Structure 1
Amino acid sequence: MSNGPAGHVARSTIRPNSETSRRTPLRTFLHTDDGVTIDSVYDPGAVVYDSSRPSAGDLAFVVAHGFTGDVDRPHVRRVAEAFTRHGAVVTFSFRGHGASGGRSTVGDREVLDLAAAVRWARELGHARVVTVGFSMGGSVALRHAALYGENRRDGGETEECGAHTDAVVSVSAPARWYYRGTPPMRRLHWLVTRPEGRLVSRYGFRTRIHHRQWNPVPMSPVESVPLIAPAPLLIVHGDRDGYFPLDHPRTLAEAAGDHGELWLEPGMGHAEHAATDELLDRIGAWAGA
């Protein structure tokens, strides 16, 4: 499994570009650079109709859910609804999740899924695209921004392909791979690495996990962060996160330096389920500033 973007451009089965299309909810399957179909939903923002904020219609959020989530899960829909108060929203199911094709690589090839969703947001006419990732999706958002941004590694793709992000929000993300320091992460590693765990994941969580190990190991989130600049970066983490303790967000913030911002949220647990409406509203306002 590779950790970098491929060379050709992902396509969607719907390619609307008109102002009318941007005001219409849409659902389609996108096609990633490696040929995986990704179940995707577009929700036009309520602010499109706000004459006092004419630039708000240019903003789109692309939401990257956590492991075992999908586009139809109530917690993902709640996040999307919250962000529509600030702009349009693209949500999608990562490979191996829900109705999307393929199998999950737990953060590696998923950068291609996010790239396809970002391209679709730009095809719909949005000039400013902000990626917001939760947990696994947060690590994917960090790697995506590094691989597709101005400071991308050699071999990364050019911005003309439309997959770059203008700002990044990473919520409840790990700083490093293979972390097993908490009971929830030990359970997750059992799901991913054991055949019986992958069966539980497939039939219990609608998540199909690839049996192959990473080869090569993808660039870690903390290695990705310095390559994101000059795109603004917001790191959000709860002080009661049961998966990743506070050294993870602090390590990411240290790697970000002056171009990153860290919000440590009192009383917050992990990812979408723990993100309050008030927090989502603040993230939306940050992205639209």
Structure 2
Amino acid sequence: MTRGTQHSHGSRRTPDAVRCDRLTYAFGDSRAVDGLDLAVRDGEVFGLLGPNGAGKTTAIRCITTLLPVPAGRVAVFGHDAAHDRMAVRRLLGYVPQQLSADAHLTGRENVTLFARVFDVPRRERAERVAQALAAVDLTEAADRLAGTYSGGMVRRLELAQALVSAPRLLILDEPTIGLDPIARTSVWEHITAVREATGMTVLVTTHYMDEADQYCDRVALMHRGRVRTLGTPAELRRGLAERHGSDARPTLEDLFRDVAGSGLDDQSGDFRDVRSTRRTARRLG
């Protein structure tokens, strides 16, 4: 896989794809995001990891402008998410945890609907829809109802929906939840192929540590609303081994337990998010 790099034009550096400075978001007395500092470089695949209730999805919703930014700052390619929301939305594609495809529409109709929502010019719409479906290998199934698709096909359809606007930033919130290993691999192969062809930035949350290790250039592990550790998977695994003086080869799962394991019992999370995630997993299973 081709690794992402920071692009530059002469002496000017392209702004970070995503930058959060002291982002804070609370639900009542509970701080879901607590002074989050985060920078995602242009062109990389960045994994945002952490236990349920760590604040990942809340942070994602602030970045995508689905939630306001009450404190701190969020910028997408230099555009302020609080004050330039439409500019931010034009730059990104988003695959949420919850299923977004309509089972009563065909695959082509689903992607066409998103093309209209994201204001793809009418004269380009049919071609862009066809390109998005081809990119995720759904051309032959495009005119079948989405309700007849397998779980892996549904996730690929949602990826096509996110890609139809040719985003510079693709945000994936648990994109392979509930899928079997073969379907998970297929979804990631399509993500990787599109990213290599377009150079887009990918920000992904996942609970599958093997996915983060294999596909992400860098990962950040969130716990209680803040980033606790950040680096390449190899750097983080090496650092864990050095801290514990072990000759064993730790995994990202070991790092996950090391950073977050001590406080998992009191991580309440958001009940609605847990419920919708479980519902999605059941429907895809």
Q: TM-score range, shorter-chain basis? A: under 0.3
With structure 2 as the length reference, what TM-score do the two structures score?
A: 0.28
The higher relative CO (CA closer than 8 Å, separation ≥ 6) is in 2
Q: Which structure dedicates a bigger proportion of its chain to helix?
A: 2
Q: Which of 1 and 2 has greater Rg?
A: 2
Q: Which structure dedicates a bigger proportion of its chain to strand?
A: 2
